[in-house]
Structure 1
Amino acid sequence: MEYHEAVARLAPCGLDCSRCADFRDGEIRALSARLKELLGNYQRLAAMKAAGRPEFAHYGQFAAILDSFAAAPCSGCRGDNVTCPLDCTAKTCHKDNGVDFCFQCGEYPCDKQFEGKLRDRWRSINDRMREIGAAAYCEEQGKLPRY
């Protein structure tokens, strides 16, 4: 993986936007859209199956969640449509400091980012990127489940 690919996939704080369920260019969105396409009008069959298999009585809820995954709207933290629920100053701070990632900043680790366990995770991610590089870190993360 090239460095520029890691920058496109990773948020400035180091979280992997590309593996997020809300990322519009991510694999979860693509696979969800494909599953939605393959299931087509499965609602009718699910209703018939519900008599013998009660879990199918809730197919509508599953379909609504699948629709949400298939319509993932987030551009990632470097884009123009950020829907990430994390309150992260790195989305703008990295631009002000002229760096791609927090660990590259002369002020790292600063007090601007997160608190508690989330701060510990942020530090761990950025320390690992500093150790092996952003591209290698991105490849490493790509082998793990996001959630």
Structure 2
Amino acid sequence: MDYQQIVKEIAPCGLDCQRCAAYSQGEIKELSAQLLSKLGKYERLAKIMSAKQPAFAHYQSFKDILTFFSQASCDGCRSNASACPVDCLAKTCHKEKGVDFCFQCKEFPCTGQNNPMLRKRWLQKNNRMKEIGVVEFYHEQKKLPRY
């Protein structure tokens, strides 16, 4: 994977957009759509299964979540079609500063990322990219769960 392709998949903050449940071209969307297709009209069997396994009584909720995942429409934080629910300054700041990732900015770490939970993850990811490089960081992230 080359650097420019990685820039398309990794957000300026360091999160992997491609593995996000909301990403329009992501694996979660694809696998959810496949599972929905494979299950077909499982509702009938779920009703029967609920007699032995009560969790199946909630099959419709499970199907609703799969349907939601299968309709993901976010094109990533760098796009104009970003649907990320997180209000992150990095989405716009990196453009203003002319960098691909926050750690590349001369002001890093700045005070712009002030949400304590986001700040901790933002610092970890950007410090790791700075330490091992963007390409190695990308390969390292692919081995980890997204959430």
Normalised by the size of structure 2, how large is the TM-score?
Answer: 0.94
SS of residue paired to 1:35: helix
Letter in 1 for 2:67: D
Q: Which residue of 1 aligns with 2:115?
A: 115
Letter in 2 for 1:109: P
Normalised by the size of structure 1, how large is the TM-score?
Answer: 0.94
Q: Which residue of 2 aligns with 1:146?
A: 146
Q: Which residue of 2 aligns with 1:81?
A: 81
Measure the CA separation in 1 of the matches of 2:118 and 2:57.
Answer: 38
Q: C-alpha displacement at 1:124, in angstroms?
A: 1.3
Give CA-to-partner distance per residue, 1:35-79, whole Å, 9 cap, x none.
011111111211122222221111100000010111112111011
Give CA-to-partner distance per residue, 1:93-123, whole Å, 9 cap, x none.
1111111110111111111113323212211
Measure the CA separation in 1 of the matches of 2:113 and 2:51.
Answer: 51
SS of residue paired to 2:4: helix
Residue 71 (1) aligns with residue 66 (2): no
Which blocks of at least 5 consecutive residues in structure 1 are unaligned?
Answer: none
Q: C-alpha displacement at 1:130, in angstroms?
A: 0.9
Measure the CA separation in 1 of the matches of 2:63 and 2:120.
Answer: 36
Is residue 5–residue 135 contact of structure 1 (8 Å, CA) maintained in 2? Answer: no
Measure the CA separation in 2 of the matches of 1:77 and 1:122.
Answer: 14
Measure the CA separation in 2 of the matches of 1:34 and 1:117.
Answer: 33
Letter in 1 for 2:31: L
Which blocks of at least 5 consecutive residues in structure 2 are unaligned?
Answer: none
Residue 3 (1) aligns with residue 3 (2): yes
Measure the CA separation in 2 of the matches of 1:64 and 1:32.
Answer: 11
Is residue 88–residue 114 contact of structure 1 (8 Å, CA) maintained in 2? Answer: no
Is residue 10–residue 18 contact of structure 1 (8 Å, CA) maintained in 2? Answer: yes
SS of residue paired to 2:73: coil
Measure the CA separation in 2 of the matches of 1:62 and 1:108.
Answer: 42
Q: Percent identity?
A: 54
Q: Which residue of 2 aligns with 1:50?
A: 50
